[in-house]
Structure 1
């Protein structure tokens, strides 16, 4: 009779294509995962993996065995997870990564109630504008937008990631308001340089009628941080295109004004993502459930939408 540890070590190693990655996800050492798989192979009398110094690949027997056991291992893990959540009070350090602006403006205000509910959880957050490797860097979860999920990850949308055009009233004074995205070519622009590619970002905007147009300004300033772009716009230096999440506090107090209220660029969703294993630690599971519920209660999907009919606080 095989143990769950042996079977799960095999399934995770196959999914993540390595003993080290599987070990990080399972909370074991690579040697322990390798040993579990070796015991499984010995008990079955099958070679499940072809091993090399650089990669781990399934044999034909390994592929057939994975297909036959994966669903059962996941079902058993799910049952154990439910039992664990019901019997154990969530505790421990919750390591989370997210962008500084979103974290401080939208997630941090939701935490007092969460910590009152779960007094034995300690928050350890990295506020940084980059996508992290959850398993390799030891994070329980992360929040990001416009990201490509690695294998073995699941994403839960929290709010839309919409880009809108904004400027300060001091800049707009005496200048004609743009009626179409093409009109932005007549305005000084505060553009964004992609940290990943090094290129200046250009946005294709859409309206409620399905029309699309590329928004191009006269690039006078190029920055690599959306918060800095908003600050530049606040100083009357031009028009900038930023995600609603960054502009909303300044739109609410009138220091920035939305342009082209029917137009926005859709970059997908701001999502909470974590390892797609059923046996999540209870601290992670309660945080996921709480944050999704709290964002809905705070009407974050509506507030951060660039759609004119979404009821967001971003009207011109």
Structure 2
């Protein structure tokens, strides 16, 4: 009998707490299970199990051996799986978690292309503002901008995620454009509320001289959904502070225009998060590599933003008209505070 077979059978006896249970899981007879354990004990010269008619329990030596045996068998299984994955196309179900906004706008189109490239992989995409417990809830990977709260997770950077303040041309025609953060006191700021990433609740800006401003925006609409805020912004109701992956296409088309471009918002980082394993499964590796290639260091949503900024920076009669003497709306004020 092969010693690794002996070890596998012994481990199944421990995990099943009986010889008959191990036999059922392995598809062999209970007498064959007993022979494997007997051979293993003879080779080691030590008793590993205490046997009674009703119960099987580990001896002290057996407990120490089982812990080492389990690690060794796991290493062997991972090694065999790694070699197998090198010669097989990625396949199986891939469970993914992401925020609703990024999941709908950017990840859904990417997944459609990914499954076309890897037809052996089926995807379950679950959207939530809450960062899930990947292991406990059975997810293979999450795509988020939050810092991973669990140090046991691997975090692979996929792309930068920049923030901009923007509004519709129709809004600026009525109220003018803010030139400095203090001008935001005269503007209606559409803001984030509820159980979302706290980063969005203040509007963070850095001036050219390095001064950092944490602005507390005020306005007549708050929502935990960026989709709600952007609909209001399209209608000309106020300014929004949102990621470029959310507003990039609108900036390119001219439906929205950025303001305060001389003040930079600290970027977030889009990451793929997945549990730490010595052997990363082929399906997860394929998906993360695909996203890194698709989004990369220059994500497509930022190219839209750059094009929009160049267009809005060029002088035009319409732009001068929009920035004429504004009629101040009656709005609650903001506070621009230097920490």
TM-score under structure 1 length normalisation = 0.69
**Equivalent residue number for residue 332 of structure 2:** none
Distance in 1, Cα, partners of 2:119 & 2:104: 21
Q: SS state of the match for residue 189, structure 1? A: coil
Matched ranges for 1:262-277 at <5 A: 262-266=262-266, 268-277=268-277
Give 1:284 deviation, angstroms. Answer: 1.3
Give 1:192 deviation, angstroms. Answer: 0.8
**Equivalent residue number for residue 125 of structure 2:** 125
**Equivalent residue number for residue 155 of structure 2:** 155
Between the two proteins, the alignment pairs up a number of residues equal to 260
Give 1:86 deviation, angstroms. Answer: 0.7
**Equivalent residue number for residue 186 of structure 2:** 186
Instruction: Answer yes or no: is the 8 Å Cα contact 1:244–1:314 preserved in 2.
Output: no
Q: SS state of the match for residue 220, structure 2? A: strand
Instruction: Answer yes or no: is the 8 Å Cα contact 2:98–2:128 preserved in 1.
Output: yes
Decide whether aligned partners of structure 1 residues 174 and 85 sit closer, same or farther in structure 2, where only a CA change above 3 A counts. same
Q: Does 1:104 align with 2:104?
A: yes
Instruction: Answer yes or no: is the 8 Å Cα contact 2:196–2:224 preserved in 1.
Output: no
Q: Does 1:177 align with 2:177?
A: yes
Distance in 2, Cα, partners of 1:92 & 1:177: 52
Instruction: Answer yes or no: is the 8 Å Cα contact 2:187–2:239 preserved in 1.
Output: yes
Q: SS state of the match for residue 251, structure 1? A: helix
Give 1:100 deviation, angstroms. Answer: 2.7
**Equivalent residue number for residue 93 of structure 1:** 93
Decide whether aligned partners of structure 1 residues 103 and 45 sit closer, same or farther in structure 2, where only a CA change above 3 A counts. closer
Q: Does 1:83 align with 2:72?
A: no
Where do 4+ consecutive residues of structure 1 move more than 6 Å?
1-7, 38-41, 72-78, 197-200
Give 1:98 deviation, angstroms. Answer: 1.0
Cα shift readout 1:52-76 (whole Å, capped 9, x = no counterpart):
xxxxxxxxxxxxx9xxx99x99987
Q: Which runs of 5+ in 1 are unaligned?
A: 8-37, 49-64
Instruction: Answer yes or no: is the 8 Å Cα contact 1:189–1:220 preserved in 2.
Output: yes
Instruction: Answer yes or no: is the 8 Å Cα contact 2:167–2:233 preserved in 1.
Output: yes
Decide whether aligned partners of structure 1 residues 200 and 157 sit closer, same or farther in structure 2, where only a CA change above 3 A counts. closer
**Equivalent residue number for residue 46 of structure 2:** none
Cα shift readout 1:264-292 (whole Å, capped 9, x = no counterpart):
33253111111111222221121111111
Distance in 1, Cα, partners of 2:105 & 2:147: 20
Give 1:259 deviation, angstroms. Answer: 0.7
Instruction: Answer yes or no: is the 8 Å Cα contact 2:253–2:308 preserved in 1.
Output: no
Cα shift readout 1:203-233 (whole Å, capped 9, x = no counterpart):
2212455332233443221111112111111
Larger radius of gyration: 2
Matched ranges for 1:25-36 at <5 A: none
**Equivalent residue number for residue 312 of structure 1:** 306
Cα shift readout 1:86-112 (whole Å, capped 9, x = no counterpart):
122211111111123322322233334
Cα shift readout 1:90-139 (whole Å, capped 9, x = no counterpart):
11111111123322322233334422331111111112332111111111
Decide whether aligned partners of structure 1 residues 245 and 120 sit closer, same or farther in structure 2, where only a CA change above 3 A counts. same
**Equivalent residue number for residue 137 of structure 1:** 137
Distance in 2, Cα, partners of 1:5 & 1:148: 39
Matched ranges for 1:36-75 at <5 A: 42-43=61-62, 45=64
